[in-house]
Amino acid sequence: MKYYKSEEEKHRIVCLLCRHYCKMKEGQVGVCGVNKNVKGELKTLVYGHPSALNVDPIEKKPIYHVLPGTTALSFGTVGCNFKCPFCQNWQISQETKVNEEVYVSPEKMVDLAVESGSRSIAYTYNEPTIFYPYAKDIGVIAKERGLKNIFVSNGFESPEIIEDMPSWLDAANIDLKSWDEGYYKKVLKGGLEAVKDTLRKMVAEGIWVEVTTLLIEGENDSDRDLEEMAGFIADDLGRHVPWHLSAFHPDYKMRDHEWTGIDTLMRAKRIGQEAGLYYVYLGNVPVHGDTHCPGCNELLIDRTGYSVTVNRLIDGRCPKCNREIEGVWE
Strand order in the sheet with 4-6: 4-6, 13-15, 23-24
Is residue 238 domain-shared with residue 324, that is, in the same domain?
no
What is the Cα–Cα distance from 326 to 157, expressed in whole angstroms? Answer: 24
Is residue 300 domain-shared with residue 175, that is, in the same domain?
no
Is residue 233 domain-shared with residue 189, that is, in the same domain?
yes
Q: What's the pLDDT at 57? A: 97
Name the residue among 19, 24, 18, 27 with its Cα closest to residue 6: 24
What is the Cα–Cα distance from 76 to 137, expressed in whole angstroms? Answer: 14
> pLDDT, tens digit, for every residue of 177-236?
999 999 999 999 999 999 999 999 999 999 999 999 999 999 999 999 999 999 999 999
Is residue 175 domain-shared with residue 271, that is, in the same domain?
yes
Residue by residue, pLDDT tens for the chain (330 residues) are 999 999 877 789 999 999 999 999 999 999 999 999 999 999 999 999 999 999 999 999 999 999 999 999 999 999 999 999 999 999 999 999 999 999 999 999 999 999 999 999 999 999 999 999 999 999 999 999 999 999 999 999 999 999 999 999 999 999 999 999 999 999 999 999 999 999 999 999 999 999 999 999 999 999 999 999 999 999 999 999 999 999 999 999 999 999 999 999 999 999 999 999 999 999 999 888 999 999 999 999 999 989 999 999 999 999 999 999 999 999
Using a 10 angstrom Cβ sphere, with 0-12 exposed, 13-18 middle and 19 or more buried, the burial of residue 123 is buried
Q: What is the DSSP letter of 82?
A: -
Is residue 275 domain-shared with residue 301, that is, in the same domain?
no
* Contact call for residues 175 and 155 (beta carbons, < 8 A): yes
Is residue 70 domain-shared with residue 128, that is, in the same domain?
yes
Which residues constitute the domain of residue 32? 4-43
Q: Could you give the number of structural domains in the chain?
A: 3
Is residue 124 domain-shared with residue 34, that is, in the same domain?
no
Is residue 237 domain-shared with residue 145, that is, in the same domain?
yes
What is the Cα–Cα distance from 23 to 118, expressed in whole angstroms? Answer: 39
What is the Cα–Cα distance from 34 to 107, expressed in whole angstroms? Answer: 22
Is residue 218 domain-shared with residue 240, that is, in the same domain?
yes
pTM of the model: 0.97
Q: What's the pLDDT at 305? A: 87
* Contact call for residues 230 and 275 (beta carbons, < 8 A): yes
* CATH assignment at residue 249: 3.20.20.70
Is residue 149 domain-shared with residue 232, that is, in the same domain?
yes
Please give the span between the terminal C-alpha atoms of the chain, in angstroms, as a whole number: 29
Is residue 118 domain-shared with residue 236, that is, in the same domain?
yes
* Contact call for residues 201 and 58 (beta carbons, < 8 A): no
Is residue 281 domain-shared with residue 309, that is, in the same domain?
no
What is the Cα–Cα distance from 240 to 234, expressed in whole angstroms? Answer: 8
